[in-house]
Amino acid sequence: MTQEFPALTNDLLLRAARGEQTERAPVWVMRQAGRYLPEFRKTRETHEFFEICRSPTLATEITMQPIRRYAGLLDAAIIFSDILVVPQAMGMEVIMNPGPHFTDPLNTPADVEKLPREVDVEKELGYVFEALTLTRKTLAGQVPLIGFSGAPWTLMMYMIEGGGSQTRQKSKTWLFKYPEASKQLLERITDICVQYLIGQVNAGAQLLQVFDSNAGDLSPYDFSTFALPYLKRIADEVREGLKARQLPIVPLTLFAKGAPPSLAASAKYDTIGLDWTLDPRDVAKLTDGIIDGRTITLQGNLDPVVLYGGREAIEREVKRMCNAFHDARGGACKAWIANLGHGITPGVNPEDMKFFLECVHKYSAVPSS
């Protein structure tokens, strides 16, 4: 059933995601509701991480914290949740201690049989949908609301490694030792991601982002084999599912960190996220026109560590970033969503985050010398 929500008063993000020219770049930040904010840390003193994710009231509160603090500076809210709620929905136990830890990771393909064949996404992840609806109403049209999911390869990596890993040895071994079983697991994860993302739009999400944070651990061949087909399935089937349910066909963003941009673009998302190692001018040359002749929106891509460098460095580097994205679009502010090249880190001073946002507003508006 379609929800009724307040009218949107700032659609800058959605216009940029559609490839339009904008008066300035819309800006939001990955993990903008997070540990760098004292109000977030205060909430965490009395609530466990996944407790917050599972409470629509708490998740809405955390999502709104940066919107309130940076009123008029952020152009989007992103729902407070975690990519690992999908493995949890598949029957795996995940705790934060302080990073993610799976109590019983997958060691061999036989372990997959312990997971339920069918997952009732509405039942298992309904708390995310409730949080989206409550947040959308609480936003009262100030800015669009972003929903998200992890990508199949990145989720599979966590499910096998049992948490973060420097080498990805266990999960990559699966790809080479058990390629068919790996594909079967990726298909099952993809099925859930598709339902989950469609459900998020039904609940109020106005843009969706898929995080493939570990895409850069794969060679171009392995990315094309074990990541790209499932990313394409998500893009195609989410759009088809939204259309079939008469829901808005919202813009889709893919952040495939470290993947070749031309391969990431071939997944047919409206926007691709860039990390700080990429020059948008080069990416634009590689990606413009490869999908139905259209301009793919780019998102990014300031190095998050710049926010520790002081005001002079922040202003200098934001100005340089803006110039690069303007150059990529022939001197215009077009088809670009400003962001960091990865999530904001816990030690950032919230006032420096504010200065970053102010600089984006200032320097993205017109090319600066």
20 within 8 A of 335, measured Cβ to Cβ:
yes
Name the β-bridge partners of 27: 338
CA 328 to CA 343: how far, in whole Å? 23
Q: Which helix (H) or strand (E) holds 340?
A: strand 336-340
Within 10 angstroms of residue 202's Cβ, the number of other Cβ atoms is 20
Residue 218: DSSP 8-state: S
Task: Please give the C-alpha separations between residue 317 and each of 305, 313, 359, in angstroms, as whole numbers.
Answer: 11, 6, 10
The set of catalytic residues is 31, 35, 44, 82, 158
Two tokens, residue 200? 């998020």
Two tokens, residue 337? 């969503």
197 within 8 A of 250, measured Cβ to Cβ:
no
CA 186 to CA 129: how far, in whole Å? 23
Distance of CA 96 to the CA centre of its chain: 20
CA 57 to CA 130: how far, in whole Å? 9
Contacts of 25 (CB under 8 A, 6+ apart): 16, 322, 325, 333, 336, 337, 338, 360, 364
